[in-house]
Chains A and B, each alone.
Chain A
Amino acid sequence: MLRRVLIASSGVAVLLAAWQLAAAAAAPSLLPGPLPVVRAVGELAVKGLLLRYVVASLFRVTWGYSMALVTAVPIGIALGLSTWAERAFNPFIQLLRPISPLGWIPIAILWFGVGDLSAIFLIFLASFLPLAVASMHAVHNLDETNLRAGRNFGLGRLALVRRVILPAAMPQLLVAMRITLGIAWLVVVAAEMIAVNSGLGFLIVDARNAGNRYDLVIAGMLMIGLIGLLLDSGVRRLERIEMRRRGYGA
């Protein structure tokens, strides 16, 4: 454990040193060094902007992502269970899938105007399809034996979903949830650059537009990376609990 921490922190130290050297060698306007960036983070914190922007971004992700979660998982499961529903809707889903959520920005602004709702809508879109597709596949991959056992004990359709299908699909669903949360976090930053005037994505464009403050830009990027990392490790922890319970990689 200690060894791992040591290796990881020496990696960070090497990168910081390289950054510092590069910043010293380049023109100050091209690459702010680590110290100005740390100062910029401090400046944002003092002004209260840091907390406000982080909360704004997380707020949008929370709403868009959780709305996608509660709709996409049931719909995906229903599609996975019903052959005709899948035949009817799958081509449509596969057509929408390759469209980047950012391609929806004009439509989002047209429908919801510039503001939170647009950003939330984009995150919802970005999360919905991967979650629905993953739920559908999770149902396809279910062990038929588990389903039969559930039916044998007299479960109706809903009870079967709740007591057999969901728990059986949970390991796969958790992986999809983690990957999708990563996508949602990528998309919120992009959406905030265009559709709203708060949040970490807005911070980045705003810092550039209002006086080329690249120290603030990098500070914003750093925050985005840090929070993304925290979100990912949070869901990963959930995943590990579930996996350990079932004896995978305990």
Chain B
Amino acid sequence: MPAAAGVKVSIRGLSMRFPAEAGTVDVLQDLDLDVREGELVCILGPSGCGKSTLLNIVGGFVRPTAGTVTIDGVRVTEPDRRRIFVFQERGVFPWLTVEGNIAFGLHHLPDGERRQRVEHYVALVGLGGFERTYPHALSGGMKQRLEVARALAVNPDVLYLDEPFGALDSITRLQMRGELLRIWQAERKTILFVTHDIDESVQLADRIVIMSARPSTIQRIVEVDLEHPRDLSSRGYIEVRDRIFEEIGLAHKV
């Protein structure tokens, strides 16, 4: 099937089966999904539904049992420096300073240009003054920003974020979402964002892909037609949120 115009990432018939103690476990079953260029798509699902597996397959780290992922029409078989995966802050290299981490993917550039880029991204994620600091001395949120900066510095066209703010406290998490949106609007990357947090997905996404429990399929795709910055108490926001709660089969009361 030819991809529609403007489609960046195209997933077709994707299935994943893992060996288990007794036989096998089907994690993903026959997924189809298109992500448009410059789009921010959240993949939302309960823990263990295989959404991280999906992202790892799209990132080229894991081979699917069946189906294909193509980006710009080219099949993905291995990781690629044009598409960077951001792990929940664990991806920063503890043996490199903030500067060293951001410069990691810029090895091939001449010194001057490399320095310029590092400077730019240090500033973009608000780590000015911490250039020579090692990650252990940074807070969780700063480490997360550092990893995002390292990813952006190589100027990728796609970012994969796997529950990137999951380990942060709720205040930092809110700030980081704002930062991510700001960066996304400035740089217009295509972003695939895995989360289990309904509010997070409604705050960020152009579209929310709701995954079913294992073996996962795409249960529904919800368009979020709300301008940024989003008003978290507006009717539109609450309507989208309620729809997702309903879709997942959760009563909206605890």
A residues near B, CB below 8 A? 143, 145-146, 148-149, 151-154, 163-164, 167-168, 170, 245-248
Contact = CB atoms under 8 A, between A and B. Distances in A.
Given A149-B85, A152-B84, A154-B81, A246 B91 contact: no
Contacts of B95: 167-168, 170, 245-246
B91 A145 contact: yes
B136 interface: yes
Interface in B89-128: 90-91, 93-96, 104-105
Contact of B105 (A153, A167, A170, A248): A153
B122 to A, nearest CB: 18
B154 A153 contact: yes
A149 B93 CA distance: 9
B237 interface: no
A153 to B, nearest CB: 4
B132 to A, nearest CB: 11
21 contacts: A145-B91, A148-B85, A148-B87, A149-B91, A152-B59, A152-B80, A153-B81, A153-B84, A153-B104, A153-B105, A153-B154, A154-B105, A168-B93, A245-B134, A246-B94, A246-B95, A246-B136, A247-B135, A247-B136, A247-B137, A248-B136
A62 B62 CA distance: 44
B134 A148 contact: no
B184 interface: no
A151 B83 CA distance: 11
B46 interface: no
B61 interface: yes
Given A153-B105, A153-B154, A145 B87 contact: yes
B79 interface: yes
Main SS class of interface, A: helix
A146 B104 contact: no
B81 A152 contact: yes
B93 A167 contact: yes
Secondary structure class of chain B's binding surface, majority of residues = loop
A244 to B, nearest CB: 9
Interface of B: 59, 61, 78-81, 83-85, 87, 90-91, 93-96, 104-105, 134-137, 154
Contacts of A148: 61, 79, 85, 87, 91
B9 to A, nearest CB: 16
A232 B105 CA distance: 37
Contacts of A154: 79-81, 105
A145 to B, nearest CB: 5
B207 to A, nearest CB: 25
A133 B90 CA distance: 27
A170 B95 CA distance: 9
A231 to B, nearest CB: 25
A151 B56 CA distance: 13
Given A149-B85, A153-B81, A143 B134 contact: no
Contacts of B84: 152-153
Contacts of A170: 95
A145 B61 CA distance: 11
Nearest to B96: A167
A243 B105 CA distance: 25
A164 B134 CA distance: 16
A145 B90 contact: yes
A170 B93 CA distance: 12
A246 B134 contact: yes
Nearest to A149: B91
Given A148-B61, A152-B59, A153-B154, A164 B93 contact: yes
A230 to B, nearest CB: 27
A168 B135 CA distance: 14
Contact of B85 (A143, A152, A168, A247): A152
Q: Which of A143, A152, A168 gathers the greatest number of chain B CB atoms within 10 Å?
A: A152
B80 to A, nearest CB: 7
A247 B80 CA distance: 31
Nearest to B97: A245
Contacts of B104: 153, 163
